Chain A
Protein backbone atom coordinates (compact mmCIF):
# COMPACT_ATOMS: atom_id res chain seq x y z
CA UNK A 1 0.00 0.00 0.00
CA UNK A 2 2.96 2.26 0.78
CA UNK A 3 3.92 2.28 -2.89
CA UNK A 4 0.52 3.63 -3.84
CA UNK A 5 0.94 6.52 -1.40
CA UNK A 6 4.36 7.26 -2.89
CA UNK A 7 2.91 7.09 -6.41
CA UNK A 8 0.17 9.58 -5.59
CA UNK A 9 2.71 11.83 -3.88
CA UNK A 10 4.81 11.63 -7.03
CA UNK A 11 1.84 12.63 -9.18
CA UNK A 12 0.99 15.66 -7.05
CA UNK A 13 4.65 16.73 -7.04
CA UNK A 14 4.93 16.51 -10.81
CA UNK A 15 1.67 17.94 -12.08
CA UNK A 16 2.94 20.98 -13.95
CA UNK A 17 5.62 21.85 -16.47
CA UNK A 18 6.45 20.64 -19.95
CA UNK A 19 7.28 17.18 -18.57
CA UNK A 20 4.47 17.27 -16.02
CA UNK A 21 1.57 14.89 -15.58
CA UNK A 22 -0.95 17.30 -17.12
CA UNK A 23 1.13 17.96 -20.24
CA UNK A 24 1.81 14.24 -20.75
CA UNK A 25 -1.82 13.31 -20.20
CA UNK A 26 -2.81 15.89 -22.79
CA UNK A 27 -0.21 14.45 -25.18
CA UNK A 28 -1.48 10.92 -24.56
CA UNK A 29 -5.07 11.95 -25.28
CA UNK A 30 -3.97 13.85 -28.34
CA UNK A 31 -2.18 10.78 -29.78
CA UNK A 32 -5.29 8.73 -29.10
CA UNK A 33 -7.70 11.14 -30.78
CA UNK A 34 -5.49 11.69 -33.85
CA UNK A 35 -4.92 7.94 -34.32
CA UNK A 36 -8.56 6.99 -33.96
CA UNK A 37 -9.69 9.81 -36.28
CA UNK A 38 -7.14 8.86 -38.93
CA UNK A 39 -8.08 5.19 -38.62
CA UNK A 40 -11.77 6.11 -38.95
CA UNK A 41 -11.14 8.08 -42.12
CA UNK A 42 -9.86 4.87 -43.68
CA UNK A 43 -11.94 2.25 -41.92
CA UNK A 44 -15.46 3.70 -41.76
CA UNK A 45 -15.94 4.18 -45.54
CA UNK A 46 -14.34 0.78 -46.16
CA UNK A 47 -16.55 -0.88 -43.55
CA UNK A 48 -19.64 0.77 -45.03
CA UNK A 49 -18.64 -0.37 -48.50
CA UNK A 50 -18.23 -3.96 -47.34
CA UNK A 51 -21.43 -3.81 -45.29
CA UNK A 52 -23.52 -2.26 -48.04
CA UNK A 53 -22.32 -4.43 -50.92
CA UNK A 54 -21.83 -7.50 -48.68
CA UNK A 55 -18.62 -8.14 -50.56
CA UNK A 56 -15.20 -8.54 -49.01
CA UNK A 57 -16.36 -9.89 -45.67
CA UNK A 58 -13.24 -12.06 -45.60
CA UNK A 59 -11.13 -8.89 -45.50
CA UNK A 60 -12.81 -7.70 -42.30
CA UNK A 61 -12.51 -11.08 -40.59
CA UNK A 62 -8.88 -11.48 -41.67
CA UNK A 63 -7.91 -8.00 -40.49
CA UNK A 64 -9.40 -8.45 -37.03
CA UNK A 65 -7.77 -11.87 -36.73
CA UNK A 66 -4.42 -10.45 -37.78
CA UNK A 67 -4.80 -7.55 -35.35
CA UNK A 68 -5.31 -9.98 -32.51
CA UNK A 69 -2.29 -12.10 -33.36
CA UNK A 70 0.12 -9.24 -34.19
CA UNK A 71 2.18 -8.27 -31.13
CA UNK A 72 1.73 -4.50 -30.73
CA UNK A 73 5.18 -4.02 -29.22
CA UNK A 74 6.68 -5.67 -32.31
CA UNK A 75 4.76 -3.35 -34.62
CA UNK A 76 5.76 -0.25 -32.64
CA UNK A 77 9.46 -1.16 -32.51
CA UNK A 78 9.47 -2.14 -36.20
CA UNK A 79 8.07 1.25 -37.22
CA UNK A 80 10.47 2.87 -34.77
CA UNK A 81 13.35 1.37 -36.75
CA UNK A 82 11.81 2.24 -40.12
CA UNK A 83 10.80 5.86 -39.39
CA UNK A 84 13.34 6.66 -36.71
CA UNK A 85 12.85 8.07 -33.24
CA UNK A 86 9.91 10.42 -32.89
CA UNK A 87 6.19 10.73 -33.25
CA UNK A 88 5.66 9.35 -36.77
CA UNK A 89 6.48 5.74 -35.92
CA UNK A 90 4.08 5.28 -33.00
CA UNK A 91 1.39 7.26 -34.80
CA UNK A 92 1.51 5.00 -37.88
CA UNK A 93 1.49 1.93 -35.63
CA UNK A 94 -1.45 3.23 -33.57
CA UNK A 95 -3.49 4.04 -36.71
CA UNK A 96 -2.81 0.56 -38.10
CA UNK A 97 -3.81 -1.07 -34.81
CA UNK A 98 -7.01 0.97 -34.58
CA UNK A 99 -8.21 0.21 -38.13
CA UNK A 100 -9.44 -3.40 -37.62
CA UNK A 101 -11.74 -2.56 -34.68
CA UNK A 102 -13.30 0.44 -36.44
CA UNK A 103 -13.63 -1.54 -39.66
CA UNK A 104 -15.36 -4.40 -37.86
CA UNK A 105 -17.69 -1.98 -36.05
CA UNK A 106 -18.67 -0.11 -39.23
CA UNK A 107 -19.22 -3.34 -41.12
CA UNK A 108 -21.06 -5.19 -38.36
CA UNK A 109 -23.41 -2.27 -37.77
CA UNK A 110 -24.67 -2.47 -41.32
CA UNK A 111 -24.58 -6.24 -41.56
CA UNK A 112 -26.77 -6.60 -38.48
CA UNK A 113 -29.64 -4.65 -40.07
CA UNK A 114 -32.58 -6.81 -41.10
CA UNK A 115 -32.35 -7.18 -44.91
CA UNK A 116 -36.10 -6.59 -45.10
CA UNK A 117 -35.62 -3.07 -43.72
CA UNK A 118 -33.15 -2.30 -46.49
CA UNK A 119 -35.42 -3.87 -49.09
CA UNK A 120 -38.32 -1.79 -47.83
CA UNK A 121 -36.23 1.37 -48.19
CA UNK A 122 -35.34 0.32 -51.73
CA UNK A 123 -39.01 -0.38 -52.53
CA UNK A 124 -39.86 3.11 -51.31
CA UNK A 125 -37.65 4.42 -54.08
CA UNK A 126 -34.54 5.37 -52.11
CA UNK A 127 -31.33 5.41 -54.09
CA UNK A 128 -28.40 3.32 -52.85
CA UNK A 129 -26.78 6.46 -51.39
CA UNK A 130 -29.99 7.38 -49.59
CA UNK A 131 -30.28 3.87 -48.19
CA UNK A 132 -26.75 4.14 -46.86
CA UNK A 133 -27.12 7.65 -45.45
CA UNK A 134 -30.67 7.46 -44.05
CA UNK A 135 -31.10 3.80 -43.10
CA UNK A 136 -27.86 1.92 -42.74
CA UNK A 137 -25.65 4.58 -41.15
CA UNK A 138 -28.11 5.59 -38.38
CA UNK A 139 -29.08 1.99 -37.61
CA UNK A 140 -25.46 0.90 -37.58
CA UNK A 141 -24.39 3.67 -35.21
CA UNK A 142 -24.43 1.67 -31.94
CA UNK A 143 -22.15 -1.05 -33.31
CA UNK A 144 -19.88 1.54 -34.94
CA UNK A 145 -19.55 3.24 -31.55
CA UNK A 146 -18.66 -0.16 -30.09
CA UNK A 147 -15.89 -0.50 -32.68
CA UNK A 148 -14.61 3.02 -31.96
CA UNK A 149 -14.67 2.18 -28.28
CA UNK A 150 -12.47 -0.88 -28.55
CA UNK A 151 -10.18 0.94 -30.97
CA UNK A 152 -9.81 3.88 -28.56
CA UNK A 153 -9.14 1.60 -25.60
CA UNK A 154 -6.50 -0.27 -27.53
CA UNK A 155 -4.88 2.97 -28.65
CA UNK A 156 -4.89 4.46 -25.12
CA UNK A 157 -3.11 1.31 -23.94
CA UNK A 158 -0.66 1.13 -26.82
CA UNK A 159 0.11 4.88 -26.77
CA UNK A 160 2.03 4.04 -23.58
CA UNK A 161 4.57 2.32 -25.83
CA UNK A 162 5.04 5.53 -27.87
CA UNK A 163 7.47 6.78 -25.24
CA UNK A 164 9.59 3.67 -25.82
CA UNK A 165 10.40 4.82 -29.34
CA UNK A 166 11.10 8.40 -28.36
CA UNK A 167 7.69 10.09 -28.39
CA UNK A 168 5.79 11.51 -25.42
CA UNK A 169 2.64 10.53 -23.61
CA UNK A 170 2.13 9.03 -20.17
CA UNK A 171 4.46 6.15 -21.01
CA UNK A 172 7.37 8.58 -20.54
CA UNK A 173 7.17 8.25 -16.77
CA UNK A 174 6.94 4.48 -16.96
CA UNK A 175 10.09 4.05 -19.02
CA UNK A 176 11.94 6.75 -17.10
CA UNK A 177 11.00 5.00 -13.87
CA UNK A 178 12.09 1.66 -15.32
CA UNK A 179 15.51 3.01 -16.27
CA UNK A 180 16.15 4.81 -12.99
CA UNK A 181 14.62 2.04 -10.84
CA UNK A 182 12.07 4.56 -9.60
CA UNK A 183 9.14 2.28 -8.85
CA UNK A 184 6.77 4.99 -7.51
CA UNK A 185 7.16 6.88 -10.79
CA UNK A 186 6.42 3.71 -12.82
CA UNK A 187 3.43 2.98 -10.66
CA UNK A 188 2.18 6.57 -11.03
CA UNK A 189 2.41 6.29 -14.81
CA UNK A 190 0.61 2.95 -14.80
CA UNK A 191 -2.19 4.27 -12.60
CA UNK A 192 -2.61 7.35 -14.80
CA UNK A 193 -2.91 5.26 -17.97
CA UNK A 194 -5.41 2.96 -16.28
CA UNK A 195 -7.46 5.93 -15.09
CA UNK A 196 -7.43 7.39 -18.59
CA UNK A 197 -8.60 4.06 -20.04
CA UNK A 198 -11.45 3.85 -17.54
CA UNK A 199 -12.48 7.45 -18.36
CA UNK A 200 -12.45 6.72 -22.10
CA UNK A 201 -14.48 3.56 -21.50
CA UNK A 202 -16.98 5.55 -19.43
CA UNK A 203 -17.27 8.29 -22.07
CA UNK A 204 -18.10 5.69 -24.73
CA UNK A 205 -20.56 3.98 -22.41
CA UNK A 206 -22.46 7.29 -22.13
CA UNK A 207 -22.21 7.95 -25.88
CA UNK A 208 -23.57 4.48 -26.65
CA UNK A 209 -26.51 4.97 -24.31
CA UNK A 210 -27.35 8.35 -25.83
CA UNK A 211 -27.13 6.87 -29.34
CA UNK A 212 -29.34 3.93 -28.37
CA UNK A 213 -31.94 6.25 -26.83
CA UNK A 214 -32.01 8.50 -29.91
CA UNK A 215 -32.47 5.45 -32.10
CA UNK A 216 -35.43 4.18 -30.12
CA UNK A 217 -37.29 7.46 -29.86
CA UNK A 218 -37.14 8.38 -33.57
Chain B
Protein backbone atom coordinates (compact mmCIF):
# COMPACT_ATOMS: atom_id res chain seq x y z
CA UNK B 1 0.00 0.00 0.00
CA UNK B 2 2.68 2.49 1.07
CA UNK B 3 4.91 1.41 -1.78
CA UNK B 4 2.07 2.07 -4.17
CA UNK B 5 1.39 5.59 -2.90
CA UNK B 6 3.34 7.27 -5.68
CA UNK B 7 1.42 5.24 -8.26
CA UNK B 8 -1.88 6.24 -6.69
CA UNK B 9 -0.75 9.86 -6.60
CA UNK B 10 0.23 9.92 -10.28
CA UNK B 11 -3.03 8.23 -11.29
CA UNK B 12 -4.96 10.74 -9.19
CA UNK B 13 -3.23 13.56 -11.06
CA UNK B 14 -4.07 12.03 -14.47
CA UNK B 15 -7.60 11.47 -13.19
CA UNK B 16 -7.97 15.14 -12.32
CA UNK B 17 -6.42 16.20 -15.64
CA UNK B 18 -9.30 14.42 -17.36
CA UNK B 19 -12.08 15.36 -14.96
CA UNK B 20 -11.39 19.05 -14.30
CA UNK B 21 -11.32 20.25 -17.94
CA UNK B 22 -14.55 18.31 -18.57
CA UNK B 23 -16.27 19.79 -15.51
CA UNK B 24 -15.18 23.34 -16.35
CA UNK B 25 -16.08 23.03 -20.03
CA UNK B 26 -19.53 21.64 -19.32
CA UNK B 27 -20.17 24.45 -16.85
CA UNK B 28 -19.02 27.17 -19.23
CA UNK B 29 -20.94 25.73 -22.19
CA UNK B 30 -24.11 25.12 -20.17
CA UNK B 31 -24.42 28.79 -19.16
CA UNK B 32 -25.13 30.21 -22.64
CA UNK B 33 -27.29 27.19 -23.49
CA UNK B 34 -29.31 27.62 -20.29
CA UNK B 35 -29.67 31.31 -21.02
CA UNK B 36 -30.80 30.53 -24.55
CA UNK B 37 -33.36 28.00 -23.31
CA UNK B 38 -34.95 30.67 -21.13
CA UNK B 39 -34.65 33.56 -23.55
CA UNK B 40 -36.26 31.67 -26.43
CA UNK B 41 -39.03 29.56 -25.00
CA UNK B 42 -39.39 27.34 -28.07
CA UNK B 43 -35.85 26.07 -27.63
CA UNK B 44 -36.33 25.03 -24.01
CA UNK B 45 -38.12 21.70 -24.59
CA UNK B 46 -35.81 20.84 -27.49
CA UNK B 47 -32.63 21.60 -25.55
CA UNK B 48 -33.77 19.75 -22.43
CA UNK B 49 -34.94 16.70 -24.41
CA UNK B 50 -31.64 16.62 -26.26
CA UNK B 51 -29.81 16.80 -22.93
CA UNK B 52 -31.91 13.94 -21.53
CA UNK B 53 -31.25 11.78 -24.57
CA UNK B 54 -27.53 12.55 -24.42
CA UNK B 55 -27.45 11.45 -20.81
CA UNK B 56 -29.16 8.19 -21.75
CA UNK B 57 -26.22 7.18 -23.95
CA UNK B 58 -24.03 4.68 -22.10
CA UNK B 59 -20.52 5.90 -21.36
CA UNK B 60 -18.34 3.02 -22.52
CA UNK B 61 -19.99 2.90 -25.96
CA UNK B 62 -19.64 6.67 -26.26
CA UNK B 63 -15.89 6.39 -25.57
CA UNK B 64 -15.78 3.92 -28.48
CA UNK B 65 -17.95 5.81 -30.96
CA UNK B 66 -16.62 9.36 -30.43
CA UNK B 67 -13.14 8.78 -31.89
CA UNK B 68 -14.69 8.01 -35.29
CA UNK B 69 -16.46 11.35 -35.21
CA UNK B 70 -13.57 13.35 -33.72
CA UNK B 71 -10.88 11.65 -35.76
CA UNK B 72 -8.69 10.87 -32.74
CA UNK B 73 -7.54 7.61 -31.18
CA UNK B 74 -9.67 5.74 -28.63
CA UNK B 75 -6.99 6.31 -25.98
CA UNK B 76 -6.61 10.01 -26.74
CA UNK B 77 -7.24 12.24 -23.70
CA UNK B 78 -9.29 14.55 -25.92
CA UNK B 79 -11.73 11.73 -26.61
CA UNK B 80 -12.29 11.16 -22.89
CA UNK B 81 -12.59 14.87 -22.11
CA UNK B 82 -15.11 15.47 -24.91
CA UNK B 83 -17.23 12.48 -23.82
CA UNK B 84 -17.22 13.60 -20.19
CA UNK B 85 -18.01 17.17 -21.21
CA UNK B 86 -21.05 15.91 -23.12
CA UNK B 87 -22.31 14.06 -20.03
CA UNK B 88 -21.64 17.04 -17.80
CA UNK B 89 -23.43 19.25 -20.30
CA UNK B 90 -26.43 16.90 -20.33
CA UNK B 91 -26.84 17.43 -16.59
CA UNK B 92 -25.73 21.03 -16.43
CA UNK B 93 -27.94 22.54 -19.16
CA UNK B 94 -31.05 21.71 -17.12
CA UNK B 95 -29.48 23.15 -13.95
CA UNK B 96 -28.40 26.30 -15.74
CA UNK B 97 -31.83 26.81 -17.29
CA UNK B 98 -33.54 26.25 -13.92
CA UNK B 99 -31.04 28.47 -12.11
CA UNK B 100 -31.47 31.38 -14.50
CA UNK B 101 -35.25 30.91 -14.49
CA UNK B 102 -35.21 31.11 -10.69
CA UNK B 103 -34.26 34.77 -10.96
CA UNK B 104 -37.69 36.38 -10.89
CA UNK B 105 -39.08 38.62 -13.59
CA UNK B 106 -39.54 41.55 -11.13
CA UNK B 107 -35.82 41.41 -10.35
CA UNK B 108 -34.98 41.40 -14.03
CA UNK B 109 -37.33 44.24 -14.84
CA UNK B 110 -36.20 46.40 -11.94
CA UNK B 111 -32.53 45.92 -12.79
CA UNK B 112 -33.32 47.02 -16.33
CA UNK B 113 -35.13 50.05 -14.86
CA UNK B 114 -32.01 50.82 -12.83
CA UNK B 115 -30.09 51.08 -16.05
CA UNK B 116 -28.42 47.69 -16.44
CA UNK B 117 -27.92 46.74 -20.07
CA UNK B 118 -28.32 43.15 -21.34
CA UNK B 119 -24.74 42.02 -20.75
CA UNK B 120 -24.10 43.74 -17.44
CA UNK B 121 -27.52 42.67 -16.19
CA UNK B 122 -26.61 39.05 -16.92
CA UNK B 123 -23.21 39.17 -15.23
CA UNK B 124 -23.99 41.49 -12.31
CA UNK B 125 -27.58 40.58 -11.44
CA UNK B 126 -28.78 37.27 -12.92
CA UNK B 127 -25.60 35.22 -12.63
CA UNK B 128 -24.94 35.97 -8.93
CA UNK B 129 -28.59 35.36 -8.04
CA UNK B 130 -28.60 32.08 -9.96
CA UNK B 131 -25.35 31.13 -8.20
CA UNK B 132 -26.66 28.77 -5.50
CA UNK B 133 -28.71 26.65 -7.95
CA UNK B 134 -25.80 26.64 -10.42
CA UNK B 135 -23.50 25.46 -7.66
CA UNK B 136 -25.86 22.61 -6.79
CA UNK B 137 -25.82 21.50 -10.43
CA UNK B 138 -22.05 21.85 -10.66
CA UNK B 139 -21.61 19.64 -7.59
CA UNK B 140 -23.67 16.84 -9.17
CA UNK B 141 -21.69 17.15 -12.40
CA UNK B 142 -18.34 17.09 -10.62
CA UNK B 143 -19.13 13.98 -8.55
CA UNK B 144 -20.52 12.00 -11.46
CA UNK B 145 -17.71 13.08 -13.82
CA UNK B 146 -15.01 11.98 -11.39
CA UNK B 147 -16.71 8.60 -11.05
CA UNK B 148 -17.26 8.24 -14.82
CA UNK B 149 -13.61 8.88 -15.68
CA UNK B 150 -12.79 5.39 -14.39
CA UNK B 151 -14.74 3.71 -17.21
CA UNK B 152 -12.24 5.02 -19.76
CA UNK B 153 -9.51 2.94 -18.09
CA UNK B 154 -11.02 -0.13 -19.80
CA UNK B 155 -9.66 1.32 -23.04
CA UNK B 156 -6.27 1.86 -21.42
CA UNK B 157 -6.50 5.55 -20.50
CA UNK B 158 -4.40 6.38 -17.42
CA UNK B 159 -6.50 7.25 -14.34
CA UNK B 160 -7.59 5.73 -11.03
CA UNK B 161 -9.78 3.24 -12.92
CA UNK B 162 -6.64 1.35 -13.99
CA UNK B 163 -6.51 0.11 -10.39
CA UNK B 164 -9.77 -1.77 -11.09
CA UNK B 165 -8.52 -3.21 -14.38
CA UNK B 166 -5.14 -4.22 -12.99
CA UNK B 167 -6.54 -5.44 -9.67
CA UNK B 168 -9.17 -7.55 -11.40
CA UNK B 169 -6.78 -9.12 -13.89
CA UNK B 170 -4.21 -9.98 -11.22
CA UNK B 171 -6.77 -10.91 -8.59
CA UNK B 172 -5.68 -8.26 -6.06
CA UNK B 173 -8.80 -7.25 -4.17
CA UNK B 174 -6.97 -4.61 -2.11
CA UNK B 175 -6.09 -2.78 -5.32
CA UNK B 176 -9.71 -2.65 -6.48
CA UNK B 177 -10.88 -1.47 -3.05
CA UNK B 178 -8.14 1.17 -3.01
CA UNK B 179 -9.33 2.38 -6.40
CA UNK B 180 -12.93 2.68 -5.22
CA UNK B 181 -11.93 4.49 -2.02
CA UNK B 182 -9.55 6.82 -3.86
CA UNK B 183 -12.21 7.73 -6.46
CA UNK B 184 -14.87 8.40 -3.82
CA UNK B 185 -12.45 10.42 -1.67
CA UNK B 186 -11.39 12.45 -4.69
CA UNK B 187 -15.03 13.14 -5.58
CA UNK B 188 -15.80 14.20 -2.01
CA UNK B 189 -12.68 16.40 -1.84
CA UNK B 190 -13.56 18.27 -5.04
CA UNK B 191 -17.15 18.56 -3.80
CA UNK B 192 -15.87 20.08 -0.53
CA UNK B 193 -13.75 22.56 -2.47
CA UNK B 194 -16.76 23.58 -4.54
CA UNK B 195 -18.84 24.15 -1.41
CA UNK B 196 -16.02 26.22 0.07
CA UNK B 197 -15.62 28.25 -3.12
CA UNK B 198 -19.36 28.82 -3.11
CA UNK B 199 -19.27 30.18 0.43
CA UNK B 200 -16.40 32.51 -0.40
CA UNK B 201 -17.94 33.75 -3.64
CA UNK B 202 -21.55 33.90 -2.47
CA UNK B 203 -21.52 34.87 1.22
CA UNK B 204 -25.18 35.96 0.95
CA UNK B 205 -26.38 32.44 0.13
CA UNK B 206 -25.59 31.26 3.67
CA UNK B 207 -27.62 33.96 5.38
CA UNK B 208 -30.77 32.92 3.60
CA UNK B 209 -30.78 29.36 4.98
Contact with B along A53-76 (1 / 0, CB 8 A): 000000000000100111111110
Grouping DSSP codes into helix (H, G, I), strand (E, B) and loop, the B interface class, with mixed when no group exceeds half, is helix
**Do A78 and B184 have beta carbons less than 8 Å apart?**
no
Q: CA separation between A194 and B69, bound complex, in Å?
A: 15
- Known contacts A71-B147, A197-B57: A77-B65 contact under CB 8 Å: no
**Do A191 and B56 have beta carbons less than 8 Å apart?**
no
Of B153, B168, B187, which contacts A165 at CB under 8 A? Answer: B168
Task: Write out the residue numbers on chain B whose beta carbons fall within 8 Å of the beta carbon of A3.
Answer: 68
Task: Write out the residue numbers on chain A whose beta carbons fall within 8 Å of the beta carbon of B146.
Answer: 69
Residue among A1, A186, A189 having the largest count of chain B Cβ atoms under 10 Å: A186
Of A74, A80, A183, A194, which contacts B150 at CB under 8 A? Answer: A74
B49: nearest residue on chain A (CB-CB)?
A205
Task: Write out the residue numbers on chain A whose beta carbons fall within 8 Å of the beta carbon of B176.
Answer: 74, 77-78, 81
Task: Write out the residue numbers on chain A whose beta carbons fall within 8 Å of the beta carbon of B187.
Answer: 69
**Do A174 and B56 have beta carbons less than 8 Å apart?**
no
Of B58, B150, B155, B188, which contacts A160 at CB under 8 A? Answer: B58
Task: Write out the residue numbers on chain A whose beta carbons fall within 8 Å of the beta carbon of B132.
Answer: none
Task: Write out the residue numbers on chain B whose beta carbons fall within 8 Å of the beta carbon of A158.
Answer: 58
Q: Which of B28-36, B40-48, B159-167 contacts A (4 or more CB under 8 A)?
A: B159-167
**Do B61 and A160 have beta carbons less than 8 Å apart?**
yes
- Known contacts A69-B187, A73-B150, A74-B176: A153-B155 contact under CB 8 Å: no
Total number of A-B contacts with CB less than 8 angstroms? Answer: 117
B177 at the interface (CB under 8 A from A): yes
Of A157, A183, A187, A198, which contacts B60 at CB under 8 A? Answer: A157
Nearest-neighbour CB distance to chain A for B38, whole angstroms, equals 23
Grouping DSSP codes into helix (H, G, I), strand (E, B) and loop, the A interface class, with mixed when no group exceeds half, is helix
A137 at the interface (CB under 8 A from B): no
Of B140, B143, B160, B164, which contacts A77 at CB under 8 A? Answer: B164
Q: CA separation between A158 and B147, bound complex, in Å?
A: 13
Task: Write out the residue numbers on chain B whose beta carbons fall within 8 Å of the beta carbon of A71.
Answer: 147-148, 150-151, 160-161, 164, 179-180, 183-184
**Do A201 and B53 have beta carbons less than 8 Å apart?**
yes
Q: CA separation between A189 and B64, bound complex, in Å?
A: 9
**Do B173 and A82 have beta carbons less than 8 Å apart?**
yes
**Do B167 and A77 have beta carbons less than 8 Å apart?**
yes
B192 at the interface (CB under 8 A from A): no
Task: Write out the residue numbers on chain B whose beta carbons fall within 8 Å of the beta carbon of A82.
Answer: 173
A33 at the interface (CB under 8 A from B): no
**Do B150 and A198 have beta carbons less than 8 Å apart?**
no
Q: CA separation between A71 and B53, bound complex, in Å?
A: 22
Task: Write out the residue numbers on chain A whose beta carbons fall within 8 Å of the beta carbon of B183.
Answer: 69-71, 74
- Known contacts A157-B58, A157-B59: A69-B167 contact under CB 8 Å: no
Task: Write out the residue numbers on chain A whose beta carbons fall within 8 Å of the beta carbon of B154.
Answer: 73, 161, 164, 178
Known: A71-B160, A193-B60. 15 other contacts (CB 8 A): A71-B147, A71-B161, A71-B183, A73-B154, A73-B161, A74-B161, A74-B180, A78-B177, A153-B56, A157-B58, A178-B155, A189-B61, A189-B64, A193-B58, A198-B56
